Amino acid sequence: MTAGVCALVLLVVVVVAVVSSPGWAEVHAKFLNGTEFRRYFGQILHGFWLNVQMFLVSEVLILALGLLVALVRVTRSPGLAPIRWAATAYVDVFRGVPTLLLIFLIGFGLPALQLQGTPSSPVVLGCIALVLSYGAYVGEVFRAGLNSVHPAQRNAAKALGLSEHQTLRHVILPQAVRNVVPPLLNDFIALQKDTALVATLGPLEALRVAQIGSYADFNYTPYLAAAALFIAVTVPITRYADWLQRKAIERQWAEAR
């Protein structure tokens, strides 16, 4: 109760300080213009649908790529050592390159090669860059989940006569995936926001539409409309991730008793 009252008082103080500042009238006109918000919201919403499409397509591909990389990295087969080294190099390189820079490299560099069959759509090129970037992060999340499964689980599966493939499919993977769902959701929250980076390649997604609208009359309220749409999607996913995290903690406590 006390904490809530303190937070409310702090919020009121901040709002009063902002509203009473000398530049509030100009900020209100440039960033919080209701007329501009209504004028561009429909166009930005249409552009945001492209963000959602890029997110959904990239998410499926990222999950597949990340799981494949994780499985390769945890294998101990000597014959797969070169592939394991390649997967490690992929993770090191693509986690080290900023996503925006990777979008530039893929979006402008790949078409410049003029290879037959190279995609030219900026949306496709942007999705390729996002998949390569986030695939490295998600691969490490999956690898952590695979390593979190106790070795006794594998030994018990072998004692029951399960093959290595059956053990991985029916024993290891289900537990690993359950352990990593909350961190995966956090990665996909970041992915949803980073689809806006594809605007640098030119497609008319939410950020690009807002940028065009703001340039038309030098009013930045369209950016606020775009931000509101991203918040409307990411906040529910964030709360769901928090709920899953709490359930996981409660399950661990119950198993420990």
**Would you state the pLDDT for residue 69?**
94
Q: Read off the pLDDT band of 137 (50, 70, 90).
A: very high
Hey, what are 67's tokens?
A: 């799981």
> Dihedral angle at the C-alpha atoms of 143, 104, 212, 40, nearest 10 degrees?
-10
Residue 124 or residue 25, greater confidence? 124
pLDDT tens digits for range 182-214:
888 889 999 999 999 999 998 889 999 999 988
CB 198 within 8 A of CB 131: no
Q: What is the topology classification, in CATH, of domain 58-205?
A: MetI-like fold (1.10.3720)
pLDDT at position 148, please? 83
- Which range has the top average pLDDT, 14-23, 97-106, 201-210, 237-246? 97-106
Q: Write down the domain spans for the chain.
A: 58-205
pLDDT digits over 53-99, tens only? 999 999 999 999 999 999 999 887 777 888 999 999 999 999 999 99
Rounded Cα gap, residues 137 and 125, in angstroms: 19
In whole numbers, what is the pLDDT of the chain averaged over residues? 87
How does residue 255 score in pLDDT terms, banded at 50, 70 and 90?
low
CA-nearest of 188, 221, 172 to 44 is 221
Share of the chain above pLDDT 90, in %: 42
Q: Give the CA count within 13 Å in the CB-facing half-sphere of 124.
A: 7
Q: What per-residue confidence (pLDDT) applies to 98?
A: 94
**Lowest mean pLDDT across 34-38, 42-46, 251-255:** 251-255
Between 20 and 62, name the one with better pLDDT. Answer: 62
Instruction: Note whether 71 and 94 are within 8 A (CB).
Output: no
pLDDT digits (tens, 9 = 90+) for 149-187: 877 777 787 777 777 778 777 788 888 888 888 888 889
C-alpha to C-alpha distance for 133 and 30, rounded to whole angstroms:
35
In order of 66, 139, 156, 239, the CA distances from 131 in angstroms are 9, 11, 36, 24
* % of residues, the chain, pLDDT over 70: 98
Of residues 121, 97, 102, the one with CA closest to residue 111: 121
Q: Does 256 score more than 70 pLDDT? A: no
Give the tokens for residue 4: 């809530």
Query: What is residue 1's predicted lDDT score, i.e. its pLDDT?
Result: 65
